[in-house]
Amino acid sequence: MAVQWALICHGLITLIVVVSFLCGQWPIFQGTPISSIHRFITFGAYQYFLKFVGAVFGDKGTNSILSVEYYCCDRPNPILQIIYLAILGSTYCIIVKTSFQYIPGYYLSGVHRYTSLLAVAIGILLFLLTSFSDPGTVTVDNVSQYLSVYPYDNVIYTKKECTTCKLPKPARSKHCSICNRCVARFDHHCGWMNNCIGERNTRYFLAFLLWHFLLCMYATVGIGLVLAGRLKELKIVYILTVYYGVENSFRSLAPHIVQWLLGSYNTQILLMVFLAIVSLLLAGFFAYHAKLCLTNTTTNETFKWQDYISWQKKLHEARASSAALKASINGMNGERKPRENKCKSFFRRSPLENTEAVVKSNVYDKGLLHNLYEVIFPVRLRASNSHTKSKSG
């Protein structure tokens, strides 16, 4: 039983750590242990580690750690790409070693030996496309074309020059400090791809997320069917009911079957838990980015709008507070007004509540189908293709 409980605890701890790391900053988790674990993982643990290194090795040790941090977090590097390939390769090898001996089986045909390899190969192809394709780099040669693609909304995007590239900044573009280039329709810099996600490779990034979600689900269901097949082939239910006298009901059989699975196929169970958690996280990431694409918004613009709306709300509140204070001072200095009814004054709205609501106005949202078409067939790519055709004609 010790092995079974160790596996259950391992699965729960893995789930809590992964959810805390990726989702701990969400509003729903504020003030919960998940939020505290997130802060510790992303900030606290590293700070304690730095203090420990400083205490043991002095400033030289701290500077060495900071230089490693700069290389890993602020410069283009293939570390996360290598980790991705290692995770994918090792997971596939473990599945081959532990589960392929049961394929073909009771529920799975032998074709899954080859479809699984094909599915992994397509995943790697999408990874390479996203990692090494041009995200939409703005250069001297194409800046004029990018400037004509999107208009400035004069709210979060205004006409200005990139202080680093010394080029006019097209609307929706951003200078990536890690890649040191301006990227059109900039979404974010993805460490896993060691590349920016922009106008020209957002479609590959979305396909990567969707395909890897399906790949993890395929592996989870496949391993589950392998285990279900072994249960059927070895006649475990029959043995439990006939030889051990266990009642033939789900409630009676389930604990015994789970115990047998954890004891005989603990590696497969652990893989299923890991792949199920990863598939849920990938589903969440895909849903978030799909929503952004369908509303023709980027991750960068989401943060820009949050900052703008927050600033506007503070500005309106300051103006309302100033107006209320001015009215109060004028009332004290001027003629004395008749005393207001206590009941009316109680229900009277505060001047701060009368401030106008700040609304997000996305001028780039042209409707669901048009937005989707724009992601699959980027505007700049279509413009360059038509320009090439007109030249050849």
Residues marked as catalytic: 190
Q: Are 115 and 243 in contact (CB under 8 A)?
A: no
- Quickly tell me which residue has 């400083």 as its tokens: 54
Please provide residue 138's backbone torsions phi and psi, each rounded to the nearest 5 degrees. Answer: -85, 125
Q: Are 287 and 28 in contact (CB under 8 A)?
A: no
Q: List, in sequence order, every beta strand (DSSP E) within 142-231.
A: 174-176, 181-183, 188-190, 195-197
Q: Are 152 and 173 in contact (CB under 8 A)?
A: no
Q: Are 107 and 171 in contact (CB under 8 A)?
A: no
Task: Give the whole-angstrom CA distance, residue 213 versus residue 16.
Answer: 20
CB-based burial label for 254 (10 Å; 0-12, 13-18, 19+): exposed
Task: Count Cβ atoms below 10 Å from residue 18 Cβ, excluding itself.
Answer: 15
Task: Give the whole-angstrom CA distance, residue 24 versus residue 16.
Answer: 10
Cα 47 to Cα 22, 31, 42, 65, 284, distances in angstroms: 19, 21, 9, 11, 29
- What is the b/e burial string over 102-135, where b = at least 16 CB atoms within 10 angstroms of the residue's CB? bbebebbeeebeeebeebbeebeebbebbbebeb
Element of type H or E holding 44: none
